[in-house]
Structure 1
Amino acid sequence: MSETAKKIALVTGGSSGIGEATARALAADGWHVIVAARRLDRLEKIAEEIGGEARELDVTSQESVDKLAASIDHLHLLVNNAGGAKGLDPIEKANIADWEWMYETNVLGTLRVTQAFLDKLTADEGHIINISSVAGIQPYAGGAGYNAAKFGVTAMNKVMRIEFVDRPIRITEINPGRVKTDFSLIRFKGDAAKADAVYADKLNLSAEDIAESIRWVAGLPAHMNIDRMVITPRDQVI
């Protein structure tokens, strides 16, 4: 396909992990992919390798989101992947700043980007894929802040389906289970030993596993909508 004929996908949080793997999978499937995140140097390398575009984006900044939206005329697929967790503290010792970051990034970040591109996605009969987590379904001790954020994403996805049902767009939620990426390293603020212990002696999904599910959902006929996909390794039950 020519560059002008390709459908355009935007992947937030595209500089590593699930976001990077998704960008690569979509590009291999014929999409023109815009990878967006804060680490522009990393994005530029990925974009060069997949024949896409790199754009700097901080989903916690309305100015940053608006600037990105103003630079993109058409959009057929939005993958709201930017997110993450910080800390594993019990509620009685919860770090308010960590909770604020998780809510700003996971919930309000998804809201900002969706609002900014909704009209363009509608005009192009597009698709929104929101990356939540099994943490948005099943709470666990120490996870209250992340649970609250991802429960928020799950609720927002359901309301999008209700409120956007008369628009020619699709809405999908992906709920990954245990995926071995730098997720836990970020959660534990660089403590590699704690991060590695999360995945030790367990089956783990890869970022590419989740990217494959996103690629498949995005490639389905436009009259089909996958509301939710829950994906876990065989040894993880929620």
Structure 2
Amino acid sequence: MRTALITGGTSGIGEAAVRAFVAAGWRVVTTGRRKERLDALVAELGADKAQGLAFDVRDEAARDAALDALPADFRQFDLLINNAGLALGTAPAQSASLDQWKTMIDTNVTALVSLTRKLLPALVERKGAIINLSSVAATYPYTGGNVYGGTKAFVRQFSLGLRSDLSGTGVRVTSIEPGMVETEFTLVRTEGNQEASDKLYGGANPMTGEDIANTLLWVAELPPHLNINTLELMPVSQSFAGFQVARN
């Protein structure tokens, strides 16, 4: 039985991915800050199939202690899904919060590369796989996207760099780059503004966490000689924004 580590499993894409992989016969270890949600998920799926680790991905000491405490059956990872991440704020750069910028960088970039580096030797040994959650924001800039888009561009380029370095090891690396997915993403970004979330997704028929989870599972279960380098997804209702023009 293969084992996956999925970060950010307390809601949205991460939670849907945990369910999808367990249903497909994988063991899953998932992480998140909200212990009560992790406990409920594990109780639902069964502790023989899923384990939840409650810590902030930015806290390397807490991360290492939690991983070290896993049952033996859950310690050998065949797949790392770096899903944990967030966007904070919608202000233009000149009035944005520097603290929010740093939090996004620490979470979306530093924590991701730190966990990846920790697991790489074992993933190489097991000829495993890494799937990183980037975003269409890595490619298409938009007003207020500034540092969030920059972090996701890093994730995309880091994924391609890993592919180069891991050539010949059998390890597969994929950057998944979704567009609009209805999750708690906008609630987090706007500090709980339900009206803003409803306005963004209303009438748009956006993608769901389950849509992306099924894509992650498809990538993970491809034959080992196939690698999806990057995969960009959007709902049909979303397309490439037009250029902005500021007029006098």
In structure 1, the partner of 2:92 is 90
Q: Is the 8 A contact 1:21 1:211 kept in 2?
A: yes
In structure 1, the partner of 2:10 is 15
Which residues in structure 2 correspond to 1:133-144 (within 5 Å)? 133-144=135-146
Q: Is the 8 A contact 1:59 1:112 kept in 2?
A: no
Q: Does 1:168 align with 2:170?
A: yes
Give the letter for the 1:174 counterpart: I
In structure 1, the partner of 2:56 is 58
Q: Does 1:216 align with 2:218?
A: yes
Query: How many equivalent pairs are there?
Result: 233
* Secondary structure of 1:53 counterpart: strand
Post-superposition shift, 1:64? 2.2
Deviations 1:26-48 (A, max 9, x none): 11111001111111111111122
Unmatched tracts of structure 2, length 5 or more: 241-248
Structure 2 residue corresponding to 1:31, chosen from 2, 26, 29? 26
- Say what the alpha-carbon RMSD is for the aligned residues: 1.2
> If you compute each CA radius of gyration, which structure gives the higher value, 1 or 2?
2
Q: Is the 8 A contact 1:11 1:33 kept in 2?
A: yes
Alpha-carbon separation, structure 1, partners of 2:193 and 2:237: 25
Q: What percentage of aligned pairs have identical amino acids? A: 37
Give the letter for the 2:204 counterpart: K
Which residues in structure 2 correspond to 1:34-183 (within 5 Å)? 34-51=29-46, 52-71=50-69, 73-183=75-185
TM-score by length of 1: 0.94
Alpha-carbon separation, structure 2, partners of 1:14 and 1:198: 23
Alpha-carbon separation, structure 2, partners of 1:138 and 1:67: 38
TM-score by length of 2: 0.91
In structure 1, the partner of 2:246 is none
Deviations 1:130-149 (A, max 9, x none): 01111111111111021111
Which is further off, 144-153 or 71-80? 71-80
* Secondary structure of 1:30 counterpart: coil
Unmatched tracts of structure 1, length 5 or more: 1-5
Deviations 1:44-88 (A, max 9, x none): 111222231111232111212322343453100110000010001
Structure 1 runs, 4 residues or longer, greater than 6 Å off: none
Post-superposition shift, 1:92? 1.0
Give the letter for the 2:9 counterpart: G
Q: Is the 8 A contact 1:69 1:116 kept in 2?
A: no
Alpha-carbon separation, structure 2, partners of 1:150 and 1:87: 15
